[in-house]
Structures are given as structure tokens and as C-alpha cells.
Chain A
């Protein structure tokens, strides 16, 4: 069928964007969010406050608006004098947004660890870094995995927001084909593609979780 001759190559093109944005965002924002979580919990009031404001802004405004602001809005701020490229703007907006959400999840995870463990490590005279990286963090990761999984799957679908900057992801590909042929089939097709991606991710996340559930 004609529609698929056009749809499949364009979907593959679109997949490069969808998966590219997805991976780049995850790879950058997960480590970053652990740092932000620690900053948010910092004893230094000013640092904690600033991080809090950052999280408030990122969670309090739509990602679509953040994309528009970073790409178009910077131009209107005097004295900055440079503009981000389309792909730069996308990665920056997605990383900033997802880091805020993930940081709150990690903060919850770190907070859930019994204070006694920190004390025990102190008694054993383990360094603060060793305590965090080798004792606390592995337990945190284990606890926050279901919530992180939620965000990961939401991220797959949020990648479709890149349309506002004229970048063609798989949803945009479907829209193009749909308009050329005046048919609804492409939308059903990308719906299935999204489901497939989510199925693969769910499986990966399950494997990861069961790897961490060594005490059960």
C-alpha cells in the first residue's frame, strides 16, 4: 500500500529524533538529578532554596512552554546575543525539565533511608562519599526504580513535543503522511510504534528491578 511506502521511511527518520531525544535526556538528567537532589537537601539554606526555585519553575510550567522559551525567548533577552540551535534547545529544555522531576524522586529515595545507616557508617568511620556512593545510593536506586520507570515512559511520549520547533519525530511523520493521503491510518501506526517502544522499556525496567531485588 502506498501509504506505508511513505510512512515507514519517514517513521524511521522520526524514530532517530524520538530515540535520540529520549536517550540524551536520560543519560544526562539521571546523574544530574542525583546531584540536584543532594543540593536540594543541602544544609546550606541558600543552595537548598535556589534548587527549590529551579524545581518549582520546571515543574510549574509546561514543557512545551519551556521549549518555546529556550528556543525563541532567549532572542528577546537583551545582552545575551546568541540563540540556541533547534536540537540544542530541545536537549536543554528536556534535561532541565526531567532533572527537576527525577531529582524529587531521588530526594524522596534518599530521605527514605534510615538515619541509623548514616550513623552506622559514621561509627565505622567510612568517608561521606563512600557512605553515599556504596551504601546509600544502591538502596535508593532500588527504591526509586518504579517511580523512575514512570518518568522514563512519560519521557518517550513527551518527545512528541519537539514538533513546536519544527523537528520531525514519529508523530510528526504520521501527521505529514496523514495530510498527504488524507487518511487516519498513520496515527494508528505510530500508536503501535509507541506501544512497542514502551513494551521494550517496560521489559528492560523489569529486568533492572529484578536485578536489584536480591533480598527477595
Chain B
């Protein structure tokens, strides 16, 4: 123990300084604890999003964040006279990020489900879509019944998973009685193309975007789907005033036509 004398103490001190320097220059995020109700009108809010979720929120050619949700959020911020900060998060951690106060909104194609309602408050829905069943253009599958005994895949932690399990007995009828889950739709569609997956369950917004990118003629959308769903903004349960303010602004944006402008920028008419 004699080794721990003045000199190693100095070394320890030096390292403590380095550590505190490192922490000093990096504490700009993570402190937006919106727990106290008096900070309803802050001068900035942090929007948590998965920046790989085209076309709702993703990176363009220059690495800038773009997308339908980004435009909508920026419109809300403009009307509040502030700017939002966009914080990329890992999608599987979204509710944890929100409830630990690291972000103030989950706003990125966040589907309203009963399960999620227990963890967060949802704004009024701002977009409707359905869960499509997609397969290769030359396949013979045509209906939900055809999915029995097939390899079916989708994005994990997504509402497509919930939609599949919501149909009684559906997942059990798949090959091995399981739904194959990949981290992103990119892998899901790659797997379909590689012939390992037979049918893909996909959010309509995403599915149409991917098919457009990869060549629409390669795929076939089944006429049946797994039902209609809605996107909403997730807000902490402790922030009811913030939710109300957001709902009012979203209503204004829909009523004065700004919503339609943003919509037509990102989605085709159908």
C-alpha cells in the first residue's frame, strides 16, 4: 500500500480533473426534467425520435433531419415561438427516455396502442394508416389465411407486432408459431427479397416508402390488411398542460390547412 503516496494521488487527481472536464463539456442534454408542472412554458422542448424512420423522421442527403413529423413538430414550435431540439434515441428505449426526463415528446410515427397508453399520454391522432401485408410480386399468397405455415417477418418493437398479436391465433399459425422480428424495416424487406421471409407485415407509410425505393413492381400488397391505426405524440403523464397545449396547436394546424400542405409534401394522394 506504500505505492499510494503523493505521486499516485496526483495522478488520481489529474484523472478526476480529466473526467470532470469530459463531463463538463457534454452535459448539454439529459437535463430536461419536465417533472415539475411549473415549467410548462419552457423555451425549448426535446423531441425524441428514431432518425432512421423514413418518411416520418430521417436523414436527407446532407445528414439533416427531415420528414413529415419533423415538419409538423417545427410548425408547432413556430406557433409557440420557440424551437424544438431533436434528440435521436434508440427506439426500444423511447418510453424510458421520456419517463426519465431525457426527452419531452416521443414524436416519430408513434402508434397509439392500449399498452402504450399505460406508459405515456397520447396527443390526438394526427395520421391514420393501416398495417399492410406485403409479399413478392410473383408469390401466390393472397389472403390472411395464406399466412398459415409461412415465415412472416416485421420490425421488432413496432405496432405491426402488436397488430399481428391482436388477431387471435394468427401468430401461432405462422411457421414455428413465431413472428420473425428484425431491428428495422430495411432488414425486413431484405429478408423478403432474399426469399427467407414469405410475407411481411409493415406500416403503410413505411411500406410505401420502401417499395418506392426498391422498385414497386417487385412487390404485391395483399388486399386484406391488419386494421387501421393512428399515430400520436407521446407526452409524459406528469405533463398534462403540455399535452393540452400541443393538442390545441395540432387542431389549429389541421384547421387552417397547414397540415394538408405538410401532408402532400411527404405522401402521395392515395
User: Separation in Å of the B255 CB from the closest CB of chain A?
Assistant: 32
Quick one: closest B residue to A9, CB to CB?
B63
Indicate if B173 sits at the interface (CB-CB under 8 A).
no
A176: chain B residues at CB < 8 Å are 51-52, 58-59
Stretch at the interface among B84-92, B114-122, B238-246: B84-92
B100 and A179 contact, CB distance less than 8 A: no
Complex: how many Å from CA A71 to CA B12? 24
Stretch at the interface among B20-28, B36-44, B164-172, B197-205: B20-28
Quick one: closest A residue to B89, CB to CB?
A166
User: Separation in Å of the B264 CB from the closest CB of chain A?
Assistant: 21
User: Separation in Å of the A166 CB from the closest CB of chain B?
Assistant: 4
A44 and B1 contact, CB distance less than 8 A: yes
For chain A, which range describes its interface: under 10, 10 to 19, 20 to 34, or 35 or more residues?
Answer: 35 or more
Stretch at the interface among B130-138, B144-152, B182-190: B182-190
Indicate if B60 sits at the interface (CB-CB under 8 A).
yes
Given contacts A72-B96, A176-B51, contact A13 B63 (CB under 8 A): yes
B31 and A83 contact, CB distance less than 8 A: yes
Stretch at the interface among A28-36, A100-108, A195-203: A28-36
B185: chain A residues at CB < 8 Å are 179
Given contacts A10-B63, A91-B22, contact A166 B1 (CB under 8 A): no
Complex: how many Å from CA A44 to CA B4? 13
B2 and A35 contact, CB distance less than 8 A: no
B269: chain A residues at CB < 8 Å are none
A86 and B29 contact, CB distance less than 8 A: yes
A-B contact count (CB 8 A): 124
Contact of B186 among A164, A166, A178 (CB under 8 A): A178
B214 and A182 contact, CB distance less than 8 A: yes
A89: chain B residues at CB < 8 Å are 30
Quick one: closest B residue to A83, CB to CB?
B30
Given contacts A85-B26, A164-B93, A166-B87, contact A132 B11 (CB under 8 A): no
Indicate if A43 sits at the interface (CB-CB under 8 A).
yes
B213: chain A residues at CB < 8 Å are 181-182
A177 and B59 contact, CB distance less than 8 A: yes
B2 and A129 contact, CB distance less than 8 A: yes
A88 and B214 contact, CB distance less than 8 A: no
A166: chain B residues at CB < 8 Å are 48, 87-90, 93, 97
B53: chain A residues at CB < 8 Å are 179
Quick one: closest B residue to A166, CB to CB?
B89
Indicate if A128 sits at the interface (CB-CB under 8 A).
yes
Bits for B63-102, please: 1 = Cβ < 8 Å to A, else 0.
Answer: 1000000000000000000000001111001001100111
Number of interface residues of B (CB under 8 A): 50
Quick one: closest A residue to B184, CB to CB?
A179
User: Separation in Å of the B55 CB from the closest CB of chain A?
Assistant: 10
Indicate if A84 sits at the interface (CB-CB under 8 A).
yes
Contact of A168 among B30, B88, B96 (CB under 8 A): B88
B189 and A182 contact, CB distance less than 8 A: yes
Indicate if A56 sits at the interface (CB-CB under 8 A).
no
Contact of B90 among A42, A163, A179 (CB under 8 A): A163
A129: chain B residues at CB < 8 Å are 2-3, 5, 7
Complex: how many Å from CA A9 to CA B62? 8
Q: Which of A9, A42, A165, A167 has the most CB of B within 10 A?
A: A165
A163: chain B residues at CB < 8 Å are 90
A182: chain B residues at CB < 8 Å are 186, 189, 210, 213-214
Bits for A63-94, please: 1 = Cβ < 8 Å to B, else 0.
Answer: 00000100110011000000111111101000
Quick one: closest B residue to A29, CB to CB?
B15
Contact of A10 among B29, B54, B59, B100 (CB under 8 A): B59
Quick one: closest A residue to B100, CB to CB?
A75
Complex: how many Å from CA A13 to CA B33? 28
A68: chain B residues at CB < 8 Å are 93
Indicate if B228 sits at the interface (CB-CB under 8 A).
no
Taking Cβ atoms with an 8 Å cutoff, the residues of A that contact B are 2, 5-6, 9-10, 13, 24, 27-28, 31-32, 35, 38, 42-44, 68, 71-72, 75-76, 83-89, 91, 95, 127-129, 132, 163-168, 175-182, 184
7 A–B pairs (Cβ distance < 8 Å), ordered by A? A44-B1, A85-B23, A87-B22, A88-B23, A88-B30, A165-B93, A182-B214
10 cross-chain pairs, A with B, having the tightest CB-CB distances, nearest first: A87-B26, A166-B89, A85-B30, A182-B213, A179-B52, A75-B100, A128-B2, A85-B27, A88-B23, A166-B88
